[in-house]
Amino acid sequence: MRPVAVIGVGLSPWGELWRSSLRDLFAQAALKAIKDSGAPRIDSLLVGCMSGGLFNSQEHVGALVADYTGLKGVPATRVESACASGGVAFRQGVLEVASGASDFVLVGGVEKMTDLSGDGATFALSTAADFDYEAYQGATFPALYALMARAHMDKYGTTREQLAMVAAKNHDNGLLNPNAQFKMKVSVQDVMNSVKVAEPLCLLDCSPITDGAAAVVLAPVELAAKLKKGPLAKVLGVGQAADAMALAQREDITRLEAAELAAQRAYKMAGKSPKDIDFAEVHDCFTIAEICAIEALGFCKPGQGGKFTEQGHTALKGSKPINTSGGLKSKGHPVGATGVAQIVELVEQLRGAAGERQLSKARVGLAQNMGGTCGSSVVSILGREGK
């Protein structure tokens, strides 16, 4: 397998963008990434998109976005794994370059969510759960994560305040990210006083509904080194796993087993362990998700995610900065784009181009993306090569 580098990154604007369509959003991010990469051509395109069908009455998204990105003729493949669609597309792209099948691969992710009302979007998202046995009973996504939160609180003594601290911390980071959808200071009290969605989760525990796209260009390291001067963002490892779809069927509902497995595979491929990771973007679709994710990734012991957060380890200036971009919580969560946007943040940090939120130590970064209540997860590890 050939070593692979990320040579270009791009984001569209993120937010409630009534003037932008699915195809426009994708093309904006993709054209930026292609320009940034300096790639002489694109051999293949992958696009993560959870539900063009429900959100925009538009399937066949691969061909559509290839057409509007000016990439007529390329093999264009849409990848779906609910909110992990983007991260899974990224892993597929890495494997495609590593295998030698393609040299320059564009991996994008897109979701145009505000074409539906809030209720319509809630319904579309609920199809990432077990529809016949969870959504049928009246379960929403916040409700399923609330079940995990309550179980975590009962089992480990995680507190309501610790959940809120995740949101407050990620909004602090988002304030420093010009691309974030919700650039606003949010206090622990604000989170706890916000309207109840599914107890114990309140509105400010939840990531928002977002229109947006993200894209990266991949190339084999040997070609990338000829194209680009300066340090390279090299893909060190990728891992992916699936778990029981319905939360009730998991052995331990406080654990994200698919994320644990994905992480083990990525660590093994990269030859790294949790202590080697300088910073990470994790899938904080709800505050409890970040707590469970940092445990699954081995940054702290099982059950200690709340305490680890409270002690400040995950803050921008902490020992293990988590979600320097603002995370899904503040940056926004266009579901199909999220996994790719996490890679964009890793690359910007590794390049030293993350502006006000730039970390002093950013040589190895990790991205964790998950679908549903972690029925699927993908973990990618990137490292900075050269000076």
Partner 1 sequence: MQPQRVWREIPQRYRLEAGQCRKCKKIFFPPRLKCPDCGGEAFAKLRLPTDGKLLTYTVVHTAPERFAKLAPYGLGIVELSNKVRLTVQIVDVEPEELKSGMPLRLEFRKIHDVGHAGVICYGYKAVPA
Tell me which residues touch partner 1 (CB under 8 A).
Answer: 119, 122-123, 126, 132-140, 142-143, 146-151, 154, 195-201, 244, 246-249, 253
For residues 26 and 55, which CB has a smaller minimum distance to partner 1 in the complex? 55
Residue 219 Cβ vs partner 1, minimum distance, rounded to whole Å: 39
For residues 21 and 140, which CB has a smaller minimum distance to partner 1 in the complex? 140
Residue 205 Cβ vs partner 1, minimum distance, rounded to whole Å: 12
DSSP E strands, 254-349: 279-281
For residues 92 and 126, which CB has a smaller minimum distance to partner 1 in the complex? 126
Structure tokens at 304: 């200690």
The count of other CB atoms within 10 Å of the CB of residue 133 is: 14
For residues 137 and 360, which CB has a smaller minimum distance to partner 1 in the complex? 137
Residue 378 Cβ vs partner 1, minimum distance, rounded to whole Å: 21
Paired sense of beta strands 44-48 and 105-112, if any: parallel
Residue 21 Cβ vs partner 1, minimum distance, rounded to whole Å: 26
Catalytic residue among 83, 202, 206, 292: 83
Cβ contact 97:218 at 8 Å: yes
- H/E element holding 348? helix 335-351
Half-sphere exposure of 300 (CA within 13 A, CB side): 22
Q: Write phi, then psi, for 289 (nearest 5 degrees).
A: -65, -40
Is residue 152 annotated as a catalytic residue, yes or no?
Answer: no
**Dist CA 141 CA 159 (whole Å):** 21
**Dist CA 143 CA 135 (whole Å):** 10
Cβ contact 293:87 at 8 Å: no
Amino acid at 94: V
Is residue 283 annotated as a catalytic residue, yes or no?
Answer: no
Structure tokens at 354: 């993350």
Residue 19 Cβ vs partner 1, minimum distance, rounded to whole Å: 27
Structure tokens at 295: 């445990």
Structure tokens at 111: 């979701």
Paired sense of beta strands 376-385 and 364-371, if any: antiparallel
Catalytic residue among 152, 171, 283, 333: 333
For residues 125 and 362, which CB has a smaller minimum distance to partner 1 in the complex? 125
Residue 156 Cβ vs partner 1, minimum distance, rounded to whole Å: 13
Half-sphere exposure of 138 (CA within 13 A, CB side): 1
For residues 254 and 368, which CB has a smaller minimum distance to partner 1 in the complex? 254
As annotated, the active-site residues are: 83, 333
